[in-house]
Amino acid sequence: MSCIPQGMFAGKGAVVKDFRNIKDLIKNSMYCSISTITKDGLPHSSPIGSVFLENEEGGYFIEMFTKSMIDKSKEKACIMAVNTSLFFWLISLIKGRFNTHPATRLLVTLGEKRKITEIERAHFQKKVKPFKWLKGYKHMWSTANYVRTFTVDKVIPVSIGKMTKQLEQ
């Protein structure tokens, strides 16, 4: 169900030409998912609530609950971001079309796991701050200590038939 608009995205180390829309999509996602292949050759997906696209070539995510990611540097992965805004979906369903893609897959090469910087910690804390007063906040997000960088190799917008047809022309 995916469509790759011709000439929109390049290969290895791709420069994301629709950077602003993709960055907004990630920002409007409660979480993204990252899929890799385990050492046994099986597919594995994990939710990632903290993907940050820094520039047109890549970004990072907070690595907290991704035990399958150990020793994954230089490996390929797929990060999928879905716009989880209820307003976005409601308006799109009323109009019978999406104004922007509702989801996008980023095919990436994973970088090294490293200690989080203070700037990265501040970005993460800004994202989870609305939940600070909830009991689960301490269990889930109070100890963000590591990030993993990634380089974008390819961007594949998700196609949803007639709802996204005008975006694929």
Residue 3: pLDDT above 60? no
Residue 55: pLDDT above 80? yes
Q: Mean pLDDT over all residues of the chain?
A: 80
CA-to-CA distance for 44 and 70, rounded, in angstroms?
Answer: 13
Q: CATH topology for 19-168?
A: Pnp Oxidase; Chain A (2.30.110)
CA-to-CA distance for 26 and 56, rounded, in angstroms?
Answer: 13
**Domain extent listing, the chain:** 19-168
Q: What does the pLDDT read at residue 11? A: 42
Residue 146: pLDDT above 60? yes
The pLDDT tens digits of the residues spanning 6-26 come to 334 444 444 456 778 888 888
Radius of gyration (Cα) for the chain, nearest Å? 16
